[in-house]
A and B are shown apart, each in its own frame.
Chain A
Amino acid sequence: MQVAALISVAESTGSNRIVPGVSVLHPVGDPALGAEGERALRRALLERALEAMSRPAPGAGDA
C-alpha cells in the first residue's frame, strides 16, 4: 500500500490503498515535532498502513 501526500495523483494512477502522507518533502516525518514526536508519528502512520493492508481495498469489487 502507499503513503503519499499527493493523494489525487496516487488515485489517478490506480493506487488502491492510500494513507495520507505528511508532505512531499517528508512523507513520514515532521521537523516541527522533534525526534520523539517524529518516531511516534511514523509509528501511527504505519499502524494505519497495517490496518489498510488487513482489510479489502476501499471500493474493491471482484475484477
Chain B
Amino acid sequence: MRVVYYANQFFAGVGGEEQAGIGPVVRDGALGPGAPLQQLLAPEATIVATALCGDSYYGDQPDAATERLLALIRPLAPDLALLGPAFNSGRYGLACARLGAALVRELGIPVVTGMYEENPGLDLARDAVAALATWADGGPVVPPLLVVRTDADARAMGAALERMAALARAAGQGHLPSPAEGGYFPSGFRRNVRQEQSAAERAVALLVRKLRGEPFTTELPPPRRERVPAAPPVATLARATVALVTDGGLIVAGNPEGMTGGDAERWCTVDVAGQERLDARQEVNHRGYDTTLVNEDPNRLVPLDAARELEREGRIGRLLPTVYATPGCSAPVANARRVGREIAAALREQGVDAAIVTST
C-alpha cells in the first residue's frame, strides 16, 4: 500500500511559527511523525512521500493550498493518506480536514487523521463527510475521512499514531472497526444492524443494569451540546444599539415577501420605523404553533412597545427600526446556523451592539 503523509511546517521539521507562511511542498520519504508511522505500518504499507504546508499559508489561502497539494500528491498515486495528527491545533486541524476531504473526493482514497474533540477541524471534517456521502442498498455510503480521537496536545503523540496506523491498516484491508473499537469519531450516520433481542428486551436489560448501578452502554447517545463562544457583555447600555429578532415568523402584513410558514432557509426584515408598537402593519406566519394570540397582538411575540419605552427613557441608546425575522419551523441546525450568521452580519453592518431574540 502506497501512503502519503501530511504535516504542518512544525511537525515536518521545517520550523516554528516563523515558518507558518511557507507554501505546499512535497519531500521524499516520511518526515516528522511520518517516521514512527512508517514503522507502525511496515511491511504492508510504505510512506512514499511527505507533503507539508505552513499553517498560516493554509489558513489564509485554503482553496489555493488544497489545489496545490492535490496537484503535488496526485502523481504519487497513493492508496491512502495520513494527515497530522493535529491534536487541538486549530489551523492544523482545519488544514487536515480540508485536505482530507479533497483527497477523498478527488482521489477516492481513504484518509486517516487525528484531532482533539474541540478542534474546529472536526466540525469541518464532519460537514465534508455529510456532503460527500451517498446512498446505496438502503444504507449510507460514508466517505472514508476518518478522524482518530486524540488528547489535546502532542504529549499523546505515541498513542495517536498507533491508533492512526491501526485504522489505516484496517481501512486498507477494507474492514473498518466501529468508531468505539477503532477510537475514531463517528460520522453521525446510522446503519441498521440486526439484533438477537428485541428493542423492548434490550431496553429493560439496560434499565436493570442502570438501576443496579452496573456499567451500561447507551445505544443512542443524546445530541452533544453545541459550544458557542459567548459575546462579551455590552459595555454601556445607554449608548448601545439594540435589535429585535425573532424566529416566531413575524412578517409585514399582507406578506409582500411571500414568506412561508416554515421555510427554514429564509429570513426577512420588518420595518418598524416610527412605530411605537407593533400593530396591524405586522402579522405572524408560522405553521409550527398556534399563532392566534400573537396575531391578535404581535407585541406578544416581538416586544416593540416595551423596547421603545427603554429607548425613550435612555436605558438603551437606540433601537434598530428593523425587526429581523424567520419562521423557525423544524429548522435543521445547519440551516438555523446559516440564517443566524447572515442576520448577525446584517446587524453588525448597521452597528448593532446586541440583539434580543424572542423565540417560540
Interface of A toward B, CB cutoff 8 Å: 1-6, 10-17, 21, 24-31, 38-39, 42-43, 45-46, 49-50, 53-57, 60, 63
Contacts and interface: CB of A to CB of B under 8 A. Distances in A.
Interface stretch (B24-32, B59-67, B152-160, B307-315): B307-315
Nearest to B292: A25
A41 B300 CA distance: 10
B293 A27 contact: no
B233 A25 contact: no
A24 B223 CA distance: 22
B226 A49 contact: no
A43 B313 CA distance: 12
B230 to A, nearest CB: 3
B66 to A, nearest CB: 26
**Most B CB atoms within 10 A — which of A15, A38, A50?**
A50
A56 B233 contact: yes
Contacts of B223: 12
Lowest 5 CB-CB distances: which A-B pairs, in order?
Answer: A29-B300, A14-B228, A57-B230, A14-B226, A42-B306
**Most A CB atoms within 10 A — which of B231, B293, B294, B356?**
B356
Contacts, number: 113
Nearest to A60: B230
B351 to A, nearest CB: 16
Contacts of A5: 359-360
Contacts of B226: 12-14
**Most A CB atoms within 10 A — which of B233, B248, B359?**
B359
B237 interface: yes
A28 to B, nearest CB: 4
Contact of B225 (A12, A24, A55): A12
Nearest to A15: B228
A12 B222 CA distance: 10
A1 B297 contact: no
**Most B CB atoms within 10 A — which of A1, A10, A17, A26?**
A26
